[in-house]
């Protein structure tokens, strides 16, 4: 499949609605601009967007997005079939602008290696405007410390304004992963975990007078179940939400959150952000968050990073979805396609949204039998394997003995007519093997895959009329010893 998508935000294999037990996305509606996840995003000039580990700042009606362009991102874009690589060489801190949150204009490079003394590791960039000086201040990791840059405009070139080698009260002296959060009163904070271990979470104010120094940190939480990274913050009705990912080394993760009524705490016990469990935050790591407020509503934009150039987590680098609230509970909406009206502060699931979660097994970063979002019968004959149709992984059913196995997913979704499809390879010879849809208010519909299929082939089940707001989809095998099927890139899209 093509991964060179036009202008609108674009990404490729994981995606969908929430599964049974989670909130159903908003009904489809042709409003606003389209955000297409699961592919490489392009800017308004048709060039690849290179922005990872960054942040967004709104100035007037314009959103400015800052992030890092890495050497590995370029090589991965040019040859995604080449798989993961470890090229973290720094090319630039980039700036993009948008008024609709879907179409982004490249504004130029905010900082380059020459601005940073040649640089080494640069990442986790954020920008805030200091109310006193009127300057826009960029804060980024630089090697083992921090660097600050200033500009008189949000889309200008930032001048190196100094470095910082340690943060007071931090267990290892410096931040691991971080982001910049600006509160409603204009004060700005660094939201981070400690370097080396990352089990301690901190909030540190930027120096009020100029934002060019990180003040003493407040240790607001200690993780007892491994480190936390990709730290972000957003607010809703006076509550602060500090959210992070697992310490998985560039990989997709659940999103973990703690809450407080004061930015400096005390914070609550940790909980998993609703909607991020079944596909590990739409196969991303927490990257950035900001609130979109308009004339008719508001929601939180969750910007997930796919470090595909380093970890191989599906196609693309950026994957943005809405977070809404059920009372005080934040709900993550896992969508492959959706529309946003930034001026109104509203959104809706897109007409081309894929309602299957973790459809390409890319959320699961290691070989295993149980896959995020999916349930199995038949035991260990179900697995994942390297060498997918797209991405790194595919689902597999195989055994040296005769077996009967199912891998399935229950999905809540709007009533309507759908087409289910998947990419398949098969040994053939099974008593019965199918891609199926059932429990949707009608009799089971399926497509046979018990014939020999030697190369990746798309198999479809059209005309599925959902009348009860739910469906079960999956792959089934009643197989003889040595029979196998590989399945990748499930898709369930509404067609009427």
Q: Could you tell me where the beta strands, DSSP code E, fall in 387-448?
A: 393-398, 403-412, 416-426, 432-438, 445-448
Q: What is the DSSP string of 102-157?
A: SS-EEEEEEE-GGGGTT-S-EEEEEEEE-TTT--EEEEEEETTEEEEEEESSTTSP
Q: Does residue 143 carry a pLDDT above 90?
A: yes
Q: How are beta strands 393-398 and 382-386 bridged, if at all?
A: antiparallel
**pLDDT tens profile 339-350:** 999 999 999 999
Tokens of 410: 């229950």
Q: Does residue 20 carry a pLDDT above 60?
A: no
Average pLDDT for 290-315 = 91
**Residue 8's pLDDT is what?**
32
**pLDDT band (50, 70, 90) for residue 308:** confident
Can you give the residue ranges of every domain in the chain?
A: 43-70+81-332, 375-494
Average pLDDT for 239-250 = 94
**Choice between 319 and 19, residue whose per-residue pLDDT is larger:** 319
SS3 254: coil
Q: Does residue 24 carry a pLDDT above 90?
A: no
**285-293: strand order across its sheet:** 285-293, 298-305, 318-326, 329-332
H-only helix segments in 343-464: none
Phi first, then psi: what are they for 350, rounded to 5°? -80, 160
**Residue 31's pLDDT is what?**
65
**Residue 13's pLDDT is what?**
27
The highest-level CATH class for domain 375-494 is mainly beta
**pLDDT band (50, 70, 90) for residue 152:** very high
Average pLDDT for 71-80 = 91
Average pLDDT for 414-438 = 98
Judge whether 23 and 331 are in contact, CB under 8 Å.
Answer: yes
Q: Which stretch of DSSP H or E encloses residue 66?
A: strand 62-70
Q: What is the DSSP string of 231-253?
A: EEEEEETTEEEEEEEES-SS---
Q: Does residue 418 carry a pLDDT above 80?
A: yes
**Residue 11's pLDDT is what?**
27
Tokens of 289: 């968050």
Q: Does residue 53 carry a pLDDT above 60?
A: yes
**Residue 432's pLDDT is what?**
98
**Choice between 102 and 251, residue whose per-residue pLDDT is larger:** 102
Judge whether 336 and 18 are in contact, CB under 8 Å.
Answer: no
**High-pLDDT (> 70) share of the chain, %:** 94
**pLDDT band (50, 70, 90) for residue 39:** very high
Average pLDDT for 298-314 = 88
**Residue 315's pLDDT is what?**
85
402-433 residues labelled b (16+ CB within 10 A) or e (exposed):
ebebbbbbbbbbbeeebbbbbbbbbbeebeeb
- Give the highest mean pLDDT range of 2-11, 16-25, 88-97: 88-97
Average pLDDT for 251-262 = 96
SS3 279: coil
Phi first, then psi: what are they for 265, rounded to 5°? 100, -175
**pLDDT tens profile 327-376:** 999 999 999 999 999 999 999 999 999 999 999 999 998 999 999 999 99
**High-pLDDT (> 90) share of the chain, %:** 86
Mean pLDDT across the chain = 92
**pLDDT band (50, 70, 90) for residue 249:** confident
7-17 residues labelled b (16+ CB within 10 A) or e (exposed):
bbbbbbbbbbb
The highest-level CATH class for domain 43-70+81-332 is mainly beta
Q: Does residue 324 carry a pLDDT above 50?
A: yes
Question: What global pTM score does this model have?
Answer: 0.92
Residue 439: other Cβ atoms inside 10 A = 15
**pLDDT band (50, 70, 90) for residue 440:** very high
Q: Which stretch of DSSP H or E encloses residue 280?
A: helix 280-283
- Distance CA(145)–CA(481), nearest Å, equals 57
**pLDDT tens profile 206-241:** 999 999 999 999 999 999 888 999 999 999 999 999
Q: Identify the DSSP state of 206.
A: B
Cα angle 120, 124, 129 (rounded to 5 degrees) comes to 115
Average pLDDT for 290-319 = 91
Average pLDDT for 179-205 = 97
- Distance CA(299)–CA(87), nearest Å, equals 35
Average pLDDT for 178-190 = 98
Average pLDDT for 396-407 = 98
Closest CA to 207 of 128, 292, 112: 128
Q: Does residue 484 carry a pLDDT above 60?
A: yes
Judge whether 244 and 273 are in contact, CB under 8 Å.
Answer: no
């Amino acid at each position: 499949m093509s991964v060179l998508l036009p202008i609108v935000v674009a990404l490729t294999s994981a995606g969908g609605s929430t599964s049974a037990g989670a909130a159903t996305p908003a009904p489809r509606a042709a409003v606003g601009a389209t955000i297409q996840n699961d592919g490489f995003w392009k800017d308004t000039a048709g060039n690849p967007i290179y922005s990872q580990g960054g942040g967004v700042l709104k100035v007037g009606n314009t959103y400015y997005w800052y992030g890092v362009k890495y050497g590995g991102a370029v090589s991965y874009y040019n040859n995604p079939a080449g798989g993961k690589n470890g090229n973290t060489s720094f090319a630039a801190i980039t700036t993009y602008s948008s008024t609709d949150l879907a179409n982004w204009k490249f504004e130029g490079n905010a900082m380059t290696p020459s601005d940073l003394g040649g640089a080494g590791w640069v990442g986790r960039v954020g920008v805030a405007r200091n109310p006193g000086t009127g300057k826009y201040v960029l804060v980024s990791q630089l090697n083992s410390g921090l660097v600050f840059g200033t500009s008189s405009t949000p889309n200008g070139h930032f001048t190196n304004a100094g470095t910082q080698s340690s943060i007071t009260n931090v267990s290892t002296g410096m931040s691991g992963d971080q982001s910049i959060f600006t509160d409603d009163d204009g004060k700005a904070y660094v939201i981070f975990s400690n370097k080396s271990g990352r089990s301690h979470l901190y909030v540190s104010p930027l120096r009020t007078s100029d934002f060019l120094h990180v003040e003493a940190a407040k240790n607001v939480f200690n993780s007892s179940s491994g480190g936390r990274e990709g730290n972000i913050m957003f607010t809703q009705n006076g509550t602060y939400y500090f959210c992070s990912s697992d310490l998985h080394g560039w990989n997709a993760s659940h999103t973990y959150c703690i809450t407080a009524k004061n930015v400096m705490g005390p914070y609550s016990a940790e909980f998993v952000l609703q909607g991020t469990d079944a596909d590990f935050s739409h196969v991303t790591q927490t990257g950035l968050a900001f609130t979109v407020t308009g004339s008719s509503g508001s929601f939180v934009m969750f910007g997930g990073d796919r470090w595909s150039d380093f970890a191989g987590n599906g196609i693309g680098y950026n994957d943005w979805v809405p977070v809404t609230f059920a009372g005080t509970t934040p709900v993550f909406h896992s969508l492959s396609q959706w529309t946003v009206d930034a001026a109104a502060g509203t959104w809706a699931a897109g007409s081309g949204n894929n309602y299957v979660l973790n459809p390409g097994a890319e959320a699961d970063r290691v070989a295993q039998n149980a896959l995020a979002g999916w349930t199995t019968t038949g035991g260990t004959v179900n697995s994942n394997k390297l060498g997918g149709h797209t991405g790194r992984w595919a689902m597999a059913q195989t055994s040296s003995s005769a077996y009967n196995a199912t891998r399935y997913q229950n999905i809540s979704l709007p009533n309507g007519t759908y087409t289910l499809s998947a990419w398949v390879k098969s040994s053939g010879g099974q008593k019965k093997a199918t891609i199926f849809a059932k429990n949707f208010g009608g009799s089971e519909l399926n497509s046979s895959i018990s014939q020999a299929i030697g190369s990746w082939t798309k198999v479809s089940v059209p005309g599925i009329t959902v009348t009860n707001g739910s469906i079960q989809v999956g792959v089934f095998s009643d197989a003889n010893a040595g029979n196998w099927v590989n399945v990748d890139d499930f898709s369930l899209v509404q067609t009427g």
